[in-house]
Amino acid sequence: MERRSFVGKLTLGLSAAISAPFIAWFKNDKQEKNTQTMIKKIRPLGFQWETLDPFLFCVHHEDFFPKGNDELGPDPTYFNGRHMGQDFIVKDGFRMYHGMKVPGFPGHPHRGFETITVVRKGLVDHTDSTGAAGRYGNGDVQWMTAGKGVQHAEMFPLLNSQEDNPLELFQIWLNLPKKSKMVAPHFKMLWSENVPKYTVNEGDGSVHVEVLVGKLGAHRAESAPPDSWAAPEDNHVGIYNIHLDPNSSFTLEATAQGVNRSLYFYEGNSLTIGNTEIPHYHAVDVDPNMAIQLKSGAEVCKVLVLQGKPLNEPVVQHGPFVMNTREEIYQAFQDYQQTQFGGWPWPSYDHVHDREMGRFAKHSNGQLEKKS
């Protein structure tokens, strides 16, 4: 009896010893296959980020502007060696873009899509052909529907005359469906104070999440403009900014079937999705039907998420116009030449507001919003 018990235990022990490595291998293999299924594509990022339908593209601006002069621009000595008016090469830590005195983008036209401008640091001065204006930044979001046509300027005033004026923003182009490409221009502000923010604790650190557009879990952003593709909730358009402290993790819940979802790893050096390490400044297209686990390493990691149901319509873009056919692009140019989309009611195309003005939005109907 004792011998039989010993043999039985020995057999069980050998079985466990043999099966344990196999079970571990099976689990690891299954996790690896899940990660491979989860990740559709990894691609490097440049200045202009490739996006998936319904988005057109995203641009990440990060400039370390010096202290401002009386005209709210950098000292003109910084202009030496620049291709002024077309300055997109970083020199001395910043670019002037199309600005000649103040960095930024003087008045220019758009038709057929929306711009969503997410300002992380610094301030932006807005003016447009409808008479609307604003100053926003440091966490604010401006959502502008170009519709049938609008001119607008986006200037980056250097308000601090004693210290540097860093700026970081994302400008995201969201396409409009064919039925909405010729709606009236419109813009709204999503002020930082009203952006849903929450913190979760997974792993050894905290994760801070901002729901800029759409819904994530129990957190819902302000409503989209009425003619936006993001307005119907079943289009599942979402823009989220995720800040992972060192050695933390976050599970991004699955979304709906057929949604395009991309994650943009724009700050940090060690991020893993599942078992895959993502290189710095890369985008990852993922399966919308799977929950995505993000893990940071020894440094802070920041990820921008763009998602939405695709329009699945033809896209014809020429410069600032995005339509469905080439003929509609020709018509857009002709309309702009004839009407200037309402003309320009401001003293100059690179107009900036007074230094003393705070954050505000003045809408074309006269409505005024003021923030501290």
* Burial label, 335 (beta-carbon count in 10 A; 0-12, 13-18, 19+): middle
Percent with pLDDT over 90 in the chain = 88
Sequence letter at residue 325: T
**What is the identity of the amino acid at 276?**
T
pTM of the prediction?
0.90
Are the CB atoms for 225 and 114 separated by under 8 Å?
Answer: yes
CA separation for the pair 58, 46 (Å, rounded): 10
Check: CB of residue 155 under 8 Å from CB of residue 103.
yes
pLDDT > 80? residue 22: no
Q: Is residue 338 classed as helix, strand or coil in its secondary structure?
A: helix
Look up the CATH number of domain 41-308. Answer: 2.60.120.10
**Residue 2: enclosing H or E segment and its boundaries?**
helix 2-38
User: Looking at 10-14, 59-63, 73-77, 246-250, which range is the least confident one?
Assistant: 10-14
Q: Please provide the distance, in angstroms rounded to a whole number, between the alpha carbons at the two ends of the chain.
A: 86
Domain range summary for the chain, segments of one domain joined by +: 41-308
pLDDT tens digits for range 54-77: 999 999 999 999 999 999 999 999
Q: Using CA atoms, how far apart are residues 239 and 174, in angstroms rounded to an integer?
A: 11
Q: Residue 370 and residue 172: Cα distance in Å, rounded? A: 25
**Residue 36: band (very low, low, confident or very high) from pLDDT cuts 50, 70, 90:** low
